[in-house]
Structure 1
């Protein structure tokens, strides 16, 4: 990646991140409160759904910028013409590296945001590992699917997809990834919102999932799946479509 590509990825990714976070923040608040062990109403219901938005806005630009700079760099470095079947693996690895770098920026603002949304106590260090555990599986599904859908659409129409088509692919990829990783999101939320002396607060994802399964069953593991899918589908449309459009304009 040359200097020009670096600044293009940084700017396009950062602006896309700010746009999607500000637009979809209320849905994220509702999702977090649905997953809270306190229950939706006791966590605030629909009151103050923009609580914590300043911390999210401040973290959005560097978080998204760091992800896409790393993603594009790793994608270029790992790219091979040997076999098209290896492309999804390249995208999975690039997305994983991108998420690790982005999480170092995302986690502090995520802790502040969820404290404001539900008012619990959390440990930033503990949240780092659990955010990585959730975000990497999500990206392992979302980005290879996004790239594959774009390639398929491009092949069918005989030319590279337009930005709006990239956005549609992003919506489908995001929605699917959101659905299959909802239990991990529930576990992360429960850990972040757990009382300091509770078993859940230890930060063990499997233990948190088991606890939810025992007390609430399958419905508990998929708590908030509808607003999560709605938010991330719309988010994928805005985020990846905006990134693609700004990147093309800057290039």
Structure 2
């Protein structure tokens, strides 16, 4: 992970150095970088707000919360509304927005940077896309993981039984009682390992489908870019379909590691926390106690309901914003 982060920084500083040698293009480069970061961040915020209720339900089911462990997806949603109110479905959303903007901005921007960096190093286009997507995912996780930890803790709380009084309270409590900075990175190994196939497959699938659609079915699936009519971009409905498919495939591959990550993040608020201290022990415990379907893949169905629209919205909004800002990704 440190190597991935260093690589991104190396590429960024290399770009800045080359820009400084060309004064006429420096402001344009900085402007485009800012636009790309904003586009990535806003696409993540739009996505997460839309699927926040499903996201919280997934966390409660994955961690086998005592109040909801015996419920299915829709029954769990109804029970949350009955017990805590409808607005509680968005519990932890403010923390999620704080986390998701930098996370999504870094991920989308670094994917483009990694593609450029690996261009002369990797000849196979498919491998290059997968490695670039994985590298982008790892980089974004390393930059924002403490925010994800706090967000998971807040979402796990039940109204009337609060352990934390807010974002600052959660940060202070974790730092004080769970080993300082190390406490914010519980489950990071499972997250990084899970992000490698998830982000790699997700970016690879969408990018490949996009190129295939534009190359082979331009009249049916594409349209001219509003800022560059000579360049084609995906139609909105096609972008949504490609993003949704990418999300479904990537989530299936990486879901057991996502379950392990949540269990490790929530270890200190679970009664049998000693079982969830490492990836292998967590996966073994979940498999032994609950099996594959009701353990390692528990919550996968709701995750499809969550991830498919999430990735569809994320990629589509990102593509739209890049077009709106006058930056077309097909030129990358």
Aligned pair partner of 1:71 in 106, 111, 125:
111
Confirm or deny that 1:152 pairs with 2:212: yes
The answer to whether the aligner puts 1:21 opposite 2:48 as a matched pair is yes
Deviation track 1:45-90 (CA, whole Å, cap 9, x = no partner) reads 523221111110111211111112211111122235996xx22211
1:245 offset after TM fit, Å? 0.7
CA distance in 2 between partners of 1:40 and 1:154 (Å): 49
| Uncovered stretches (5+) of structure 2, i.e. residues with no partner | 1-14, 16-28, 71-75, 158-162, 164-173, 223-231, 327-332
TM-score under structure 2 normalisation?
0.68
Aligned to 1:124: 184
The number of equivalent residue pairs is 248
- Output aligned runs, 1:1-251, within 5 Å: 2-39=29-66, 41=68, 45-46=79-80, 47=84, 48-79=88-119, 86-119=124-157, 123-158=183-218, 160-164=232-236, 165-195=238-268, 198-202=273-277, 204-219=278-293, 220-251=295-326
Is 1:163–1:245's contact at 8 Å kept on the other side of the alignment? no
Supply the distance in 2 between the matched residues of 1:13 and 1:242 (Cα, whole angstroms): 9
Deviation at 1:199, TM superposition (A): 3.0
Deviates more, 1:233-242 or 1:206-215: 206-215
* Structure 1 unaligned residues grouped into runs of 5+: none
- How big is the shift at 1:107? 1.4
Contact 1:75 1:90 in 2 (8 A): yes
Q: Which moved more, 1:32-41 or 1:43-52?
A: 43-52
Q: Which has the larger radius of gyration?
A: 2
Counterpart in the other structure of 2:166: none
Alignment RMSD (CA, Å): 2.5
Equivalents in 2 of 1:191, 1:80: separation in Å? 39
Aligned counterparts of 1:82 and 1:57: Cα–Cα separation in 2: 35
The answer as to whether partners of 2:39 and 2:321 remain within 8 angstroms in 1 is: yes
User: Residues 87, 4 of structure 1: CA spacing in aligned structure 2 closer, same or farther, 3 A cutoff?
Assistant: farther
Structure-1 separation of matches of 2:50 and 2:107? 20
Tell me how far apart the structure 2 counterparts of residues 118 and 104 of structure 1 sit (CA, whole Å). Answer: 22
Aligned residue for 2:89, secondary structure, equals: coil
RCO comparison, higher one (Cα < 8 Å, 6+)? 1
Deviation string for 1:145-179 (max 9, x for gaps)? 11111122122213644251223211100012112
Asked if the contact 1:10/1:65 (under 8 Å) is kept, the reply is: yes
